[in-house]
Amino acid sequence: MTDPTRLTAHELTDAFRSGAATPSAVTEAYLGRIAKLDGKVRAYLTVTDGRARAAAAASDARYRAGKPLGPLDGVPISYKDVLSTRGVKTTCGSRILESWVPPFDATVVTRLAAAGVVPLGKSNMDEFAMGSSTEHSAFQLTANPWDLARVPGGSSGGPAAAVAGDLAAISLGTDTGGSIRQPGAFCGIVGMKPTYGRVSRYGLVAFASSLDQIGPFAKDVRDAALVLRAIAGVDPADATSVDVPVPDYAASLGEGMRGLRVGVLEYDTAGMDPDVQRAVTAAIDVLKGLGATTQAVTLPTADHGLAAYYIIAPAEASSNLARYDGVKYGLRALGKDLIDMESRTRAAGFGAEVKRRIMLGTYALSSGYYDAYYGKAQKVRTLIRRDFDAAFEHVDVIVGPTTPGVAFKHGEKEDPLAMYLNDVFTVPANLSGNPGISVPCGFSTSGLPIGLHLVGRAFDEATILRVAYAYEQATTWRTRRPELA
Ligand code: GLN
The per-residue pLDDT for range 190-225, each reduced to its tens digit, is 999 999 999 999 999 999 999 999 999 999 999 999
Q: Is residue 254 helix, strand or coil? A: helix
Q: Quick one: which atom of ligand 1 is closest to the CA of 310?
A: 10
CA distances from 13 to 8, 63, 300, 388, 450 (A): 9, 10, 45, 38, 29
Residue 399 has pLDDT above 80, yes or no: yes
DSSP structural state of residue 67: -
State if residue 153 touches ligand 1 by the CB under 6 angstroms criterion. Answer: no
- Output the CA 131–ligand 1 centroid distance in Å: 5
- Residue 234 inside a domain? The answer is yes
Beta strands in 329-430 (DSSP E): 397-401
Q: Quick one: which atom of ligand 1 is closest to the CA of 174?
A: 9
Identify whether 179 is preceded by a cis peptide bond (ω within 30 of 0). Answer: no
Residue 485 has pLDDT above 80, yes or no: no
Give the domain extent around 337.
302-381
- Output the CA 429–ligand 1 centroid distance in Å: 13
- Residue 207 inside a domain? The answer is yes
Q: Among 304, 300, 302, which residue's Cα sits nearest to residue 376? A: 304
- Residue 222 inside a domain? The answer is yes
- On whether both 114 and 9 belong to a single domain, the answer is yes
- Residue 92 inside a domain? The answer is yes
- Residue 459 inside a domain? The answer is no
State if residue 129 touches ligand 1 by the CB under 6 angstroms criterion. Answer: yes
- On whether both 173 and 104 belong to a single domain, the answer is yes
pLDDT of residue 329: 82
Which residue's CA is minimally distant from atom 4 of ligand 1? 131
306-332: pLDDT as tens digits: 999 999 999 999 999 999 999 988 899
- On whether both 221 and 359 belong to a single domain, the answer is no
pLDDT of residue 316: 98
Which residue's CA is minimally distant from atom 5 of ligand 1? 177
State if residue 155 touches ligand 1 by the CB under 6 angstroms criterion. Answer: yes
Q: Among 49, 134, 51, 125, which residue's Cα sits nearest to residue 93? A: 125
Q: Is residue 270 helix, strand or coil? A: coil
193's enclosing H/E stretch is strand 190-193
The distance from CA 453 to its chain's CA centroid, rounded to whole angstroms, is: 13
Residues 6+ apart with CB under 8 A from 215: 172, 173, 174, 175, 180, 191, 192, 193, 194, 199, 228
Give the span between the Cα atoms of 98 and 112, in whole angstroms: 25
Q: Of the candidates 364, 381, 398, which is a domain's last residue?
A: 381
Give the span between the Cα atoms of 356 and 318, in whole angstroms: 10
- On whether both 345 and 247 belong to a single domain, the answer is no
Strand partners, 452: 401, 439
Residue 382 has pLDDT above 70, yes or no: yes
Residues 6+ apart with CB under 8 A from 413: 132, 133, 419, 422
Q: Among 229, 223, 226, 221, which residue's Cα sits nearest to residue 247? A: 229
- On whether both 236 and 312 belong to a single domain, the answer is no
- On whether both 346 and 215 belong to a single domain, the answer is no
Give the span between the Cα atoms of 7 and 26, in whole angstroms: 10
> Once rounded to an integer, what is the mean pLDDT over residues 409-436?
95
Contact between 312 and 431 under an 8 Å Cβ cutoff? The reply is yes
The edge-to-edge listing of strands for the beta sheet with 213-218 is: 44-47, 118-123, 76-80, 170-175, 213-218, 190-193, 436-443, 449-456, 397-401, 261-265, 293-297
- On whether both 85 and 32 belong to a single domain, the answer is yes
Dihedral, CA of residue 382, residue 387, residue 392 and residue 393, to nearest 10: 100
- Residue 314 inside a domain? The answer is yes
- Residue 436 inside a domain? The answer is no
400-420 burial, b if ≥16 CB within 10 A, otherwise e? bbbbbbbbbebeebeeeeebb
Radius of gyration of the chain from its Cα atoms, rounded to whole angstroms: 21
Q: Give me the amino acid identity at 228.
A: L
Q: Is residue 455 helix, strand or coil? A: strand
pLDDT of residue 407: 98
Strands 261-265 and 397-401: parallel
Cα of first residue to Cα of last residue in the chain, in angstroms, is: 20
- On whether both 181 and 250 belong to a single domain, the answer is yes
Beta strands in 267-325 (DSSP E): 293-297
269-280: pLDDT as tens digits: 888 999 999 999
- Output the CA 16–ligand 1 centroid distance in Å: 37
State if residue 178 touches ligand 1 by the CB under 6 angstroms criterion. Answer: yes
- Output the CA 484–ligand 1 centroid distance in Å: 28
Q: Quick one: which atom of ligand 1 is closest to the CA of 176?
A: 8
State if residue 177 touches ligand 1 by the CB under 6 angstroms criterion. Answer: yes
By annotation, the residues acting in catalysis are 80, 155, 179
Q: Quick one: which atom of ligand 1 is closest to the CA of 154?
A: 1
Give the span between the Cα atoms of 48 and 236, in whole angstroms: 29
- Output the CA 463–ligand 1 centroid distance in Å: 25
> Once rounded to an integer, what is the mean pLDDT over residues 125-140?
98
Residues 6+ apart with CB under 8 A from 245: none
Contact between 130 and 354 under an 8 Å Cβ cutoff? The reply is yes
- Output the CA 133–ligand 1 centroid distance in Å: 9
Residue 122 has pLDDT above 80, yes or no: yes
State if residue 133 touches ligand 1 by the CB under 6 angstroms criterion. Answer: no
Residue 160 has pLDDT above 90, yes or no: yes
- On whether both 144 and 229 belong to a single domain, the answer is yes
State if residue 131 touches ligand 1 by the CB under 6 angstroms criterion. Answer: yes
Give the span between the Cα atoms of 344 and 271, in whole angstroms: 41
CA distances from 143 to 24, 37, 159, 329, 416 (A): 28, 11, 11, 30, 20
| pLDDT class of 468 with cuts at 50, 70, 90 | very high
Residue 1 has pLDDT above 70, yes or no: no
- On whether both 116 and 51 belong to a single domain, the answer is yes
| Count of domains forming the chain | 2
pLDDT of residue 172: 99
Give the span between the Cα atoms of 2 and 192, in whole angstroms: 27
- Output the CA 116–ligand 1 centroid distance in Å: 30
Beta strands in 258-390 (DSSP E): 261-265, 293-297
Q: Of the candidates 329, 357, 381, which is a domain's last residue?
A: 381
Residues 6+ apart with CB under 8 A from 455: 388, 397, 398, 428, 429, 434, 435, 436, 464
Q: Of the candidates 257, 292, 326, which is a domain's last residue?
A: 257
- On whether both 143 and 64 belong to a single domain, the answer is yes
35-78: pLDDT as tens digits: 999 999 999 999 999 999 999 999 999 999 999 999 999 999 99
- Residue 148 inside a domain? The answer is yes
CATH of the domain at 215: 3.90.1300.10
Q: Quick one: which atom of ligand 1 is closest to the CA of 132?
A: 1
DSSP structural state of residue 276: H
State if residue 11 touches ligand 1 by the CB under 6 angstroms criterion. Answer: no
Average pLDDT, the chain: 97
pLDDT of residue 166: 98
Contact between 27 and 17 under an 8 Å Cβ cutoff? The reply is no
- On whether both 14 and 156 belong to a single domain, the answer is yes
What is the chain's length?
Answer: 485
